[in-house]
């Protein structure tokens, strides 16, 4: 096995999401498993091929919603318990009146949890990442669709993998230094 | 013209490729065009902003007596403009979130500045209740903190609900705006050549690299917040209407108020979105991204929300007549022919009569005619909020407590000042951030290319 220690991987640029999807499928069939794709906009087909399945953001949202509702109701019940105020004999624990603040805090935390959770799960903010070393990677946010085969992949061999990538009709094939 | 033919026609001219779009939008902050026009607008904004600072200072030094409000009209310009600004903000969220969930692609050219509009409209709205407090340094009394006085805020009052609703709305709007902006900040970072811009976009994009798993989580997050934002808009403006409807004042105490307010808010906000869309596309020459088709569909939406708002007017009249309540009938009569009848008929004219021009396709697709109608709607909705407040308050149950209201110089100065509070940050944001969503526009363009190649 050649020395891959200084390499993060090999990256290939494709002109369209369809070409990227086809290339990713072939790479998967070839036995590569340390694959990542970088695209200017979400390409849903990749999720199936790369076997990406992560619903934690959704569950965080649900948790946040329950948390917000719980906090809001507990807070309103407590302040009315601690400082009871009789306004024309109206209910001290007026659930219908508590509904508005409960709803607002449900929404607030149901939005805050997944937003912060999404960033945390994605490991962002992270200002340095090896893929940025690839000279043409700047186009990943514009009009090129990148497939990266990681150097840690058991089937990785810098010469063979680069050859494989070129055979996929990649627009540019570049080594990504670590 | 049928909707089917609309759906088949591409929203964006398909003869541009993905790189062109990125360059065109990311160029705006990086190589800013039309500097002089932008600077003139900014100077105007700063002048108004200064006016706001002066008015607020005068208010803080001399008290709310500098405004024209009195007893009985103790809610006037402050709450009137609060409702007006907040309503304008709501359309930004609706256009962005609701149309995202419904898969309406034409939204992608409009959502970014519509959301930006929301942020600063909500800030302007939020300032008003604070100014209206009279002693704004006691704002923190609204929050539940363990006070040495042993009291807590009154959670059974709509006035307390208000602060939670507005602060939640502001926070969620900021999150939604920023999450949607991250991928575009990455695109701007990759286009930046000057060190300063590279650092600025590098830091604000949080190191976004467009990895497949990142996109997957991002999309879940974005759609989830969009799904929350739609009911949030409805709840916030319903809550605002409860400030009125939960009181017993004739003309306010009505169950039509929550939907009436929410629809009116969407109506005025869509008008503001149209105004800003037309202005921005002319300012930055973005006719290929904000096309005449966009104006066309915005015009239709404005016309539709206008009729929904008109339903509120009709039902308000019906409500008063059906109740046979003398006070409600009195208020109705005051609106039609009282001292402030001009605000009622002005609202009807500017909101609904001028609006009828939008039935014509050429009117919707001609920027200046559409701009005129949208401006008319914004004025009309401003008059409507004035009418709801003043015509109800100036004559309530007892003749002994009737009184007139006139806005003072400082009322007007504060109001025009808030336009500066809106304009200055809005202009600065469109100066430094991509003004149209780059990646969502490219998504639409890619779909069009794909369909075009299948058809061909």
β partners of residue A9? A150, A176
A16, A97, A141 member nearest B155 (Cβ): A97
Q: C-alpha distances in angstroms, B15 versus A19, B21, B293, B452?
A: 20, 11, 16, 11
Tokens of B432: 């430094």
DSSP state, residue B140: G
Give the 3-state secondary structure of residue B211: strand
Give the 3-state secondary structure of residue B265: helix
Radius of gyration of chain A (CA): 25
Say how far apart CA B284 and CA B279 lie, in whole Å: 9
DSSP state, residue B358: G
**ipTM of predicted complex:** 0.90
Do the Cβ atoms of A107 and B172 come within 8 Å? yes
To the nearest 10 degrees (0 to 180), the angle between helices B257-284 and B212-245 is 130
Q: A141 touching B, CB under 8 A? A: yes
Residues with Cβ within 8 Å of residue B348, at least 6 apart in sequence? B313, B380
Do the Cβ atoms of B235 and A103 come within 8 Å? yes
Task: Give how far B206 is from chain A: nearest CA, Å.
Answer: 4
Q: B352 touching A, CB under 8 A? A: no
Tokens of A121: 């799960």
Do the Cβ atoms of A107 and B168 come within 8 Å? yes
Q: C-alpha distances in angstroms, B153 versus A76, A93, B75, B150, B163?
A: 9, 14, 21, 10, 11
A82, A85, A114 member nearest B225 (Cβ): A114
Residues of A in contact with B240 (CB under 8 A): none
Q: B214 touching A, CB under 8 A? A: yes
- DSSP secondary structure, B420-455, as one string: HHHHHHHHHHHHHS-SS-HHHHHHHHHHHHHHHHHH
Per-residue pLDDT reduced to its tens digit, B174-183 = 999 999 999 9
Terminal-to-terminal C-alpha distance of chain B: 24
Q: What is the CA B191 to chain-centroid distance, rounded?
A: 31
Per-residue pLDDT of chain B (456 residues; tens, 9 = 90+): 333 334 445 667 777 777 777 777 777 777 777 788 888 889 999 999 999 999 999 999 998 889 988 888 888 888 899 999 999 999 888 888 888 888 777 777 788 888 899 999 999 999 998 898 888 888 888 888 888 888 888 888 888 898 999 999 999 999 999 999 999 888 888 888 888 888 888 899 898 888 888 999 999 999 999 999 999 999 999 999 998 988 888 888 888 899 999 999 999 999 999 999 898 888 888 787 788 888 998 999 999 999 999 999 999 899 899 988 999 999 999 999 999 999 999 999 999 999 999 999 999 999 999 999 999 999 999 999 999 999 989 998 888 889 899 889 999 999 999 999 999 999 998 888 888 888 888 888 888 777 776 654
Q: Are B34 and B312 in contact (CB under 8 A)?
A: no
Say how far apart CA B434 and CA B286 lie, in whole Å: 12
Model confidence, pTM: 0.90
Give the 3-state secondary structure of residue A50: coil
H or E element at residue A37:
strand A35-38
Residues of A in contact with B141 (CB under 8 A): none
């Amino acid at each position: 096995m050649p020395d891959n220690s200084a390499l993060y991987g090999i990256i290939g640029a494709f002109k369209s999401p369809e070409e990227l999807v086809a290339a990713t499928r072939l790479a998967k069939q070839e036995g590569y498993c340390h694959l990542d794709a970088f695209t200017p906009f979400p390409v849903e087909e990749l999720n199936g091929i790369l076997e990406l399945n992560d619903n934690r953001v959704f569950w965080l949202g649900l948790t946040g919603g329950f948390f917000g509702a719980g906090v809001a109701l507990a807070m309103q019940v407590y302040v009315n318990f601690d400082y009871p105020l009789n306004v024309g004999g109206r209910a001290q624990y007026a659930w219908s009146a508590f509904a508005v603040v409960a709803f607002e805090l449900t929404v607030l935390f149901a939005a805050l949890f997944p937003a912060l959770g999404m960033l945390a799960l994605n490991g962002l903010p992270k200002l340095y990442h090896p893929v940025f070393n690839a000279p043409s990677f700047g186009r990943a946010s514009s009009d090129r669709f990148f497939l990266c085969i990681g150097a840690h992949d058991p089937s990785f061999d810098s010469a063979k993998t680069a050859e494989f990538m070129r055979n996929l009709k990649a627009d540019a094939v570049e080594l990504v230094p670590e | 013209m049928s909707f089917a033919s609309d759906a088949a026609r591409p929203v964006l001219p398909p003869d541009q490729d993905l790189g062109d779009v990125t360059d065109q939008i990311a160029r705006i902050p990086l190589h800013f065009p039309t500097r002089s026009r932008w600077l003139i607008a900014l100077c105007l904004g700063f002048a108004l902003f200064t006016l706001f600072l002066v008015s607020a200072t005068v208010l803080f030094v001399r008290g709310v007596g500098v405004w024209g409000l009195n007893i009985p009209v103790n809610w006037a310009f402050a709450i009137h403009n609060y409702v007006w600004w907040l309503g304008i903000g709501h359309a930004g969220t609706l256009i962005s979130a609701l149309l995202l969930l419904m898969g309406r692609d034409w939204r992608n050219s409009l959502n970014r500045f519509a959301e930006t509009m929301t942020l600063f409209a909500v800030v302007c709205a939020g300032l008003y209740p604070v100014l209206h407090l009279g002693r704004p340094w006691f704002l923190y009394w609204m929050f539940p903190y363990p006070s040495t006085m042993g009291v807590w805020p009154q959670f059974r009052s709509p006035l307390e609900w208000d602060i939670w609703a507005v602060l939640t709305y502001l926070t969620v709007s900021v999150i939604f705006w920023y999450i949607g902006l991250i991928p575009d900040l990455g695109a701007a970072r990759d286009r930046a050549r000057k060190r300063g811009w590279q650092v600025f976009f590098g830091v604000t994009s949080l190191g976004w690299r467009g990895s497949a798993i990142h996109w997957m989580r991002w999309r879940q997050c974005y759609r989830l917040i969009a799904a929350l934002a739609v009911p949030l808009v409805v709840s916030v403006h319903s809550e605002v209407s409860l400030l009125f409807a939960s009181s017993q004042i004739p003309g306010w105490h009505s169950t039509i108020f929550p939907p009436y307010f929410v629809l009116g808010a969407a109506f005025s906000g869509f008008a503001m979105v149209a105004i800003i869309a037309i202005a921005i596309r002319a300012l930055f020459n973005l006719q290929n991204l904000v096309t005449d088709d966009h104006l066309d569909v915005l015009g239709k939406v404005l016309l539709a929300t206008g009729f929904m708002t008109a339903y509120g007017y009709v039902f308000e009249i019906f409500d008063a007549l059906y109740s046979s309540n003398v006070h409600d009938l009195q208020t109705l009569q005051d609106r039609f022919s009282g001292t402030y009848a001009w605000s009622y008929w002005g609202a009807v004219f500017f909101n609904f009569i001028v609006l009828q021009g939008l039935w014509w396709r050429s009117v919707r697709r001609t920027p200046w005619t559409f701009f005129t109608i949208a401006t008319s709607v914004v004025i009309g909705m401003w008059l409507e909020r004035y009418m709801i407040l003043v015509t109800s308050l100036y004559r309530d149950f007892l003749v002994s407590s009737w009184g007139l209201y006139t806005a003072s110089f400082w009322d007007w100065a504060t109001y025009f000042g808030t336009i500066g509070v809106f304009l200055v940050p809005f202009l600065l944001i469109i100066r430094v951030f991509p003004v149209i969503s780059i990646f969502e526009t490219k998504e639409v363009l890619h779909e069009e290319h794909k369909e075009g190649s299948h058809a061909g």
